Amino acid sequence: TTEALAGKVAVVTGAGSGIGKASAIRFAREGAKVALLELTADTAEETQKEIEASGGEAFILECDVSDAQSVENAITKVGEKWSRIDVVFANAGINGAAAPIETMEVEDWNKTLETNLRGTFVTVKYAIPYLKKQGGSVIITSSINGNRTFSGTGFAAYSSSKAGQVAFAKMAALELGRYKIRVNVICPGAIDTNISKNTFPSEDLKEIEIPVEYPEGSHPLEDRPGKPEEVAKLVLFLASEESSHVSGTEIYVDGAESLL
């Protein structure tokens, strides 16, 4: 077969929208069976329908990555159903708290970090016993915010969570290489998705909105934000054997936005 992921089982968190949805569909097209982890089952139905319509296999698991027990349960169910896990795409995330540091609610900070950073840790943690059996690939979705500041002020919690994911990915690559588990982290720039719905702006930061239209000149490459399908191409590369010697790297997919 020429399918890049034939016979593989992939787990995708946040598989109902944006980057997770596009990547789950791409994985399935390349022959993987895909477990779609989402906050609510209905959010992932469209992804499942698209996969099944083109002859692929996917099942939905309700899972809140900010709840460790819920992640453990979901991963266990994938193992029970398909007996293996080869690819883990720890992608679910929220913009979360958008507020000046001085007035940021501790609860909002916690929610952002628990979803984006701790969620990544537990997703990887509970998948390791399965990945170890035959080796595998872990891909983590950070952001250009993990290294630099974008989107104006107010994103201290988001940026901290995204920087944490980069550090976590590198430690994981160091630790898991002996089991033939590769770990890489992707840093998207502005991508057209639904993420702005998951932003909690504080009262004093009402003006903060993730821009839908970017000022001219924001992206050196074609001067436009990215599409989820363009991120999915990179995720597929990292998931597949085409990247067999790539681990511990941080890869930008941002139309060179971060150079400006």
User: Which residues are the active-site residues?
Assistant: 158
Which CB atom, from 132 or from 166, has the smaller least distance to ligand NAD? 166
* Rounded (10°) angle between helices 156-176 and 119-134: 20
Query: How many C-beta neighbours within 10 Å does residue 228 have?
Result: 21
Which CB atom, from 88 or from 92, has the smaller least distance to ligand NAD? 92
Q: Are 131 and 186 in contact (CB under 8 A)?
A: no
Per-residue binding string, ligand NAD, 183-202, x by CB under 6 A, is -----x-xx-xxx--x----
Q: Are 210 and 195 in contact (CB under 8 A)?
A: yes
Q: How far is the CB of 80 from ligand NAD (least distance, A)?
A: 20
With CB under 6 A as the contact rule, the residue among 92, 104, 117, 172 that binds ligand NAD is 92
Q: How far is the CB of 173 from ligand NAD (least distance, A)?
A: 19
How far is 100 from 208, CA to CA, in rounded Å? 11
How far is 8 from 33, CA to CA, in rounded Å? 6
Using CB under 6 A as the binding rule, the residues of this chain from 122 to 141 that contact ligand NAD are 141
Q: How far is the CB of 232 from ligand NAD (least distance, A)?
A: 10
Which CB atom, from 180 or from 230, has the smaller least distance to ligand NAD? 230
Q: Are 85 and 79 in contact (CB under 8 A)?
A: yes
The candidate with the shortest Cα–Cα distance to 5, out of 63, 51, 74, 50, is 51
Counting contacts by CB under 6 A, is residue 93 touching ligand NAD?
yes
- Site of interaction with ligand NAD (CB under 6 A): 13-14, 16-20, 38-39, 43, 63-66, 91-94, 115, 141, 143, 188, 190-191, 193-195, 198
